[in-house]
Structure 1
Amino acid sequence: MWPVLWTVVRTYAPYVTFPVAFVVGAVGYHLEWFIRGKDPQPVEEEKSISERREERKLDELLGKDHTQVVSLKDKLEFAPKAVLNRNRPEKN
């Protein structure tokens, strides 16, 4: 009789184990919430690094006067020399 019973259990195992696992999971889930008590307060999500960077850049832009810009002539004086022109003598 035992071999027949084990054959039946093995054949119909998915049909038996899924409802049992479902019931055990549901009971455990509700038991955990019962023991834990009230829902915890929602935690405010921390901003990502890219969001913080964008906010910092916007704050920097707010403090600047965009009408005052450096002339292109002043910028060209501080431009680095090209690598290929390093060994050539400068014309003064």
Structure 2
Amino acid sequence: MWPVVWTAMRTYAPYVTFPVALVVGAVGYHLEWFIRGTPTTKQEERGIHEMREERRLAELAGRDSTEVISLKERVEFTPRAVLERNRPAEKS
């Protein structure tokens, strides 16, 4: 009897799992919407990418973009290597 049950479950699995997954997804979607609620402010309606871009633009607005650090002066330009063998010797 068990081989017949396992064969039937293997045969009809896609027809059973899709509706179950659909119901679980719909319940999860509506539960999350219920917990979060609707966005109330413009800040909440914007995406994370948009907020990040605005924050980066605000940081750049206060700086002079012509003043950059030379690559020779920048110590952390070369990545840290094992035993720091590839790092150039610092000049004293």
User: Shorter-chain-normalised TM-score: which range?
Assistant: 0.3 to 0.5
Query: Normalising by the residue count of structure 1, what TM-score does the alignment of the two structures yield?
Result: 0.45
Q: Which has the higher contact order (CA 8 A, sep 6+)?
A: 2
Query: Normalising by the residue count of structure 2, what TM-score does the alignment of the two structures yield?
Result: 0.45
Based on CA coordinates, which of the two structures has the bigger radius of gyration? 1
